[in-house]
Structure 1
């Protein structure tokens, strides 16, 4: 198979055969849901696992934040992290220390407790692989599920799409002669921190400001795959306006040069939010107060409507991304 996340169609078929016999599991494995939710009494325990496979630069910051993001989309408070680190035999002790320190420092900055994990040297990997398992908690009345989107809801997205992917690509091409302005590349590299790949601030603002019907974190496969996952989880359709999708100039320039589509580029740092249209202005105003960019890009429709996007005045089906655009680049 091609590299990248397993296609949703295949994953859905596999998950149909998973039996959950424990009634305490309130949210189990499902395409589009960002974490599991387990009843532990007065709260739900949220559990998420996510790897970093596309880059080893700033690996700790990527690892901590992509796992935090999935807890945040469920309305939760991220708490405890376990990490599995896999290195090939050519890795030096110094290189391992750099990655470990990066994880430790990122946990400290994001107020996460590193509580355990596993580290191994194996010839089965070509570059460092980090897999995080993050646990968090959420009050039972505050749990948000991707499946909660309702017909008529507005669809909003924070910041800009493709931030994570653009940063990774820029870091890889900085030493190549692609005739891209150095300032563009430098700006793109720093997307990792500004606007940043964490959605913790905007998720908290959304939850505290309005009644959110669903939230989702568009990671591998980019915005389009994230929207597909939300539609699949909620059993709904949607219409999106391409002209309203926020894309940084640096992302557009780099993707055009590399013949990649920003709509399918890994997009940690963006948060998809659905809400009743009557709450949209209030949410946009509150985000603006915190200087967080947020854009209304479409609306939730009946499932029979399908997944459509307006491009140049024409309503088309969503483009298909069987894998992330960045996987295509690195192949």
Structure 2
């Protein structure tokens, strides 16, 4: 318990946040540590960036590859199902929460400072779910260029080995940021200069849903692939 709270305080300290309150229990019904938290903050100057700010004509940048967290979870919790996968690939996936990492705080702060109109962090349901959530929140349709998506190769390899769809696999570690097209290129160059992988993956237009450039729908996942793998 002391180690858990020590780690939490250390992580919060990295972003200048404080731990407030807390309640702990020990019960035989829970077989491993479970932590639930909520982040609260104050806006600077009254400006709040939400998932809903994308406008028709905007372009969507993907910052960081996917699926990073999904790769780490699958490599750690489903290693017994990965016979035949290169051990180096499994090792890279296990280390993914640190390299490339799953925090997008710095990328989000930079994108906001560069003029982003909307931000969203893919998590459960992967990149596909995040694109749908972004489109639905803003009331637009997103047209996606599949060839521009940034993939985390070890994660894709594990998905292929397990019969999982990398589009719908837990994707913490990436950020979607919508920009006015006039500002997008400069923003992408600035983020790249900071060390982030960046690509323009979608454009917003009137309508709803998510399609690729050939008008093929990109389905909204009913569930995350990591959950499906563990329940089969």
Q: One fold, TM greater than 0.5? A: yes
Equivalent residues, number:
231
Q: Which has the higher contact order (CA 8 A, sep 6+)?
A: 2
SS in 2 for 1:116: coil
- Contact 2:61/2:188 (CA < 8 Å) preserved in 1? no
TM-score (norm. length: structure 1) = 0.66
The answer to whether 1:230 aligns with 2:134 is yes
Are 1:240 and 2:131 matched, yes or no?
A: no
**Kindly tell me: are residues 187 and 289 of structure 1, through their superposed partners in 2, closer, same or farther at Cα, counting changes over 3 Å?**
same
2:136 aligned with 1:136? no
Q: Distance in 2 between matches of 1:270 and 1:281?
A: 18
2:98 to 193, 204, 229: 193
Partner-residue secondary structure (3-state), 1:237: strand
**Greater strand proportion:** 1
Unaligned runs of 5+ in 2: none
Asked if 1:213 is matched to 2:213, the reply is: no
Which position in structure 1 is the counterpart of 2:69?
164
Shift of the 315–252 alpha-carbon distance from structure 1 to 2, 3 Å rule, reads: same
What root-mean-square deviation, in Å, do the aligned CA atoms of Structure 1 and Structure 2 show?
A: 1.7
TM-score normalised according to structure 2 size:
0.92
Give the distance between the partners of 1:122 and 1:235, measured in 2 at CA: 44
1:106-142 deviation digits (Å, cap 9, x = unpaired): 2233432112211112344343221111111112442
**2:212 matched to which residue of 1?**
309
For residue 85 of structure 2, give the secondary structure of its aligned residue in structure 1. Answer: coil
Decide whether the 8 Å contact of 2:67 with 2:169 is kept in 1.
Answer: yes
Unaligned stretches of 5+ in structure 1?
1-95
Write the distance in 2 (CA, Å) between the matches of 1:157 and 1:200: 14
Distance 2:82 2:48 in 1: 48
